[in-house]
Amino acid sequence: MQPLVPSSGKSAGKKGSTLPSIVYFVSGGESTAEDFKEALLKAKRAEFKLTYASGAVKTSPWKAEQFDSNSDLIANIRSRPFWRKRISEGLEKVEVVID
């Protein structure tokens, strides 16, 4: 079972940087990664709510039509453009939401 909030330790990128926390929500309540994945397999869509150090909050849709039971949830999130820019843009928290 994956933890609710994955690693917030040192990243492999720049020295001294930390990974943003990832929190999952299904129908308004916090969820485990396992339960979120099950809901995503049914809904095939979610929304990313991205919180930055500056206080800015951005949202981004996730169309997950190709996501299947063999897909790695964390790897899929970490392959997104916002994750690759996390250090330069000051990304602190990623909330993944299914309504």
Q: pLDDT digits over 68-89, tens only?
A: 999 999 999 999 999 999 999 9
Is the pTM higher than 0.75?
yes
Q: Is the pLDDT of residue 16 over 50?
A: no
Cβ-proximal residues to 59 (8 Å cutoff; 6+ apart), any chain:
47, 48, 49, 50
CATH topology of domain 21-98: Dna Ligase; domain 1 (3.30.1490)
Domain regions of the chain by residue span? 21-98
For residues 9 and 20, is the Cβ–Cβ distance under 8 A?
no
